[in-house]
Chain A
Amino acid sequence: MGRVVLVTGAARPLAGRFVRRVQREPDVDLVLAVDTEPPAHRLGAAEFVRADIQHPAVGKLLVERSVDTVVHLDVNATPPVRRGSRAAVKEANVIGTMQLLGACQKAPAVRRLVVKSSTHVYGGAPRDPAVCRETTVPKELPGGGFAKDLLEVEGYVRGFARRRPDIAVTVLRFADVLGARAGSPLAEYLTLPVLPTVFGYDPRLQFVHEDDALAVLALAAGEPRRGSLAAGTFNIAGDGVVVLSQCARRLGRPTLPLPLPALTWAGAALRGVGAREISPEHVRLLTHGRVVDTTAMRAILGFEPEYTTADALADFIRVHGPGPLPPSTVHRAVDRLQEAVRHG
């Protein structure tokens, strides 16, 4: 008998792609996709179960269908609909995870748990080391928002791993995911026509390509390969670093440096008109940046990302198109200048 995989948060695009991918694995018999909203995308042969993980019904589902792998992707920075409130997101992240873990604890068949986290847990402060390891404890813990949710979620997951040592628990801390459809807050930010930045700071950024994110989720949800161990906490990021100014130039989008308080106001104003918001942890990322060490990802998890940070960005530009100042135009302008210098 094959495995039964339960995926939470299936209405999100990335989770939807994961549901479609994991059912192609040879040893997987059934995929249960759970969310409170029906997804806009296809889920293939997976069975969609409309349920709230904050509700004990999920526990019954786990036992009845004898689920052995739980992939918890319902940890999100943004509400599913544009006007959703921050409090509801926090509720879904923290209480949802707590209830799901409680349900897993009572489900005897569960063997493997994969939780999606983010490198936002490292906060990002000038007093932290430049490159964060999984063991790095930030000097300033994030005080609120999504980063605080993640800290609490990871805390519950660690407690769960202690109580159920027979379950292999994997926490994947993703850097910002870029791809054709991934709707991460940073990806939305990078599609703004003009990028508001924090004056006097040029943060270092790291990206993961969507395909790599799916591949590593599948790897962690499957049976571990020989010589690798899929339990533990891992940073997931593409190789290399880009700084925001460089990123904006490659995107061909002009930057608008604003003093730090003004950017927070601008973020609030954007939210006020119902546009994309700039959340406090996002402002933090845009101020100090964040780079993680991925040695454990390679050495222990045995995962080699296909895209570097620069490749992921290039692919993002390919899909979304360059902004109002494409690098090719800049290139031609410099060529013309060169001609002018030579002849005139």
Chain B
Amino acid sequence: MADAKVIPFDDDRARGARRTKRGALASVGEQASAARPARRGPLAERSRERPSGAEGGAAEGGPASTPGGGRGPGAVARPGALERLLGDEWDRRAARGLSFLRRRLTGEYEVDDFGYDAELTEQVLMSLLRPVYDAYFRVEVRGIENIPADGGALVVANHSGTLPWDGLMLQVAVHDHHPAGRHLRLLAADLVFVLPVVGELARKAGHTLACAEDAERLLTRGEVVGVMPEGFKGVGKPFADRYKLQRFGRGGFVSTALRAGVPIVPCSIVGAEEIHPMLGNARTLARLLGLPYFPLTPTFPWLGPLGAVPLPTKWTIQFGEPIPTDGYEPEAADDPVLMFHLTDQVREKIQHTLYKLLVQRRSVFF
């Protein structure tokens, strides 16, 4: 199972880490060799936790039928489900849809100070993203319980993939999987809010500008805020640098979390790096268009808009143990050395988790 799916890393430290990880996995693998065939099945693929045994797979049996729908048992289950829906359920659904339509058309809904339209996000935007999440990228979420059920938290994730699909998938992951149904409020680059339509949708989906003021306001209100500190350096890095975290800014996100006294939840996303393998960057064109980079992938811009369709990679999103920040004095947020240290700690944590997940990954696409 080994070499085909492990991405070769360039630096020695990473290679060493991989070797030890592979050794560790081998011993785990021997113990759990009986469980391994099961991991290829649709049940285990869907499971949110790492499959620890037979009971894990059985517990996930219910929801597992949806993603497998394309091939196998789920496809048989679907017409049955539809028939059931077309009974009494149908009338109720239509009524619900029409009352939604009525509220939208008469403007009787609420938005918050940031322009977050909870109803539109839940009923429309999430429904549009869910097929991409479930069927296309087949995202597997682990450690979602590391996001607290109430109060603020800052989710810090790696950023990749040329187009920020990872942010959107992270939002769906938190929304669909968190037991308390929390909403992730993403911090986005200013470019997002300059662009028409994109900026409008981003605000309605609860995103806001990545600046300390907005982040602190959201965190002190007790929201879960998502940030990708690598920014354009991460999302627009060449394919050769995949899964190598870029610089994490100056640690502004850590001092914001410290001021708000909320825990930092490190998050590693595997799979997004390969959706648009960025082989080159047309810098002159990017400068002309006012963009931070202009990607050249094997398909884009050669195939036109069709080339911008992401590759259907298999994703894993792993939330790590929260790092508490409430043990520091308030003035600690102004201490650059401490901020740098904490930033590095978060970064290392994400990077190590990425390596671990890469070693466990069977293939980029499955």
Contacts and interface: CB of A to CB of B under 8 A. Distances in A.
24 contacts: A127-B209, A128-B209, A129-B211, A131-B213, A136-B213, A199-B196, A200-B196, A200-B198, A201-B200, A241-B111, A242-B107, A243-B111, A243-B115, A243-B117, A246-B107, A246-B109, A246-B111, A249-B106, A327-B105, A331-B102, A331-B106, A337-B101, A338-B95, A341-B94
B98 interface: yes
Contacts of A249: 104-107
Contacts of B114: 130-131, 204, 291
A199 B196 CA distance: 7
Interface string A87-130: 00000000000000000000000000000000000000011111
Contacts of B18: none
Contacts of A268: none
A250 B208 contact: no
Interface string B279-315: 0000000000000000000000000000000000000
B343 to A, nearest CB: 22
Interface in B148-201: 190, 193-200
B107 A129 contact: no
A292 to B, nearest CB: 9
A133 to B, nearest CB: 7
B293 to A, nearest CB: 19
B203 A291 contact: no
Interface string A283-295: 0000011010000
A129 B113 CA distance: 11
Contacts of A342: 91, 94
Dominant secondary structure at the B interface: helix
A338 B208 contact: no
B190 to A, nearest CB: 5
Interface string B110-127: 111111010000000000
A251 to B, nearest CB: 8
B114 to A, nearest CB: 5
Nearest to A132: B213
A202 B204 contact: yes
B111 A334 contact: no
A247 interface: yes
B250 interface: no
Contacts of B112: 241
A302 B198 CA distance: 39
Contacts, number: 100
Contacts of A201: 196, 199-200
A154 B211 CA distance: 26
A125 to B, nearest CB: 9
B214 interface: yes
B113 A202 contact: no
Contact of B111 (A127, A131, A200, A242): A242
A128 B102 CA distance: 34
A330 interface: yes
Contact of A126 (B98, B104, B209): B209
Task: For chain A, give the interface size range.
Answer: 35 or more
Contacts of A240: 110, 113
Contact of B190 (A126, A243, A291, A338): A126
Nearest to A128: B209
A342 B106 CA distance: 22
A250 B115 contact: no
Contacts of B190: 126-127
Interface string B213-237: 1100100000000000000000000
- Which 5 A/B pairs are nearest by Cβ-Cβ distance? A200-B196, A249-B107, A126-B193, A327-B106, A129-B213
Nearest to A332: B102
B289 to A, nearest CB: 17
Interface of A: 126-131, 133, 136, 198-202, 204, 240-243, 245-250, 260, 288-289, 291, 327, 330-331, 334-335, 337-338, 341-342
A289 B199 CA distance: 12
Given A204-B115, A243-B115, A330 B94 contact: no
Contacts of B106: 249-250, 327, 330-331
A112 B105 CA distance: 48
Contacts of B101: 334, 337
A141 B286 CA distance: 27
A207 B113 CA distance: 13
A338 B94 contact: yes
B107 A204 contact: no
A204 B194 contact: no
A240 B98 CA distance: 26
A200 B102 contact: no
Contacts of B104: 249
A249 B214 CA distance: 28
A202 B200 contact: yes
Contact of A338 (B98, B107, B217): B98
A288 B121 CA distance: 20
Most A Cβ at <10 Å: residue of B94, B98, B196: B196
Contacts of B213: 129, 131, 133, 136
A331 B196 CA distance: 30
A129 B200 CA distance: 15
B120 to A, nearest CB: 10
B105 to A, nearest CB: 5
Given A126-B194, A200-B199, A337-B98, A241 B113 contact: yes
Contact of A131 (B197, B198, B214): B214
Nearest to A127: B190
Contact of B113 (A131, A199, A245): A131
Nearest to B101: A334
A286 B217 CA distance: 24
Nearest to A341: B94
Interface in B112-144: 112-115, 117
A204 to B, nearest CB: 5
A247 B214 contact: no
Given A127-B209, A130-B214, A250-B108, 9 more contacts: A131-B213, A133-B213, A204-B111, A204-B113, A204-B203, A249-B106, A250-B107, A330-B105, A334-B101
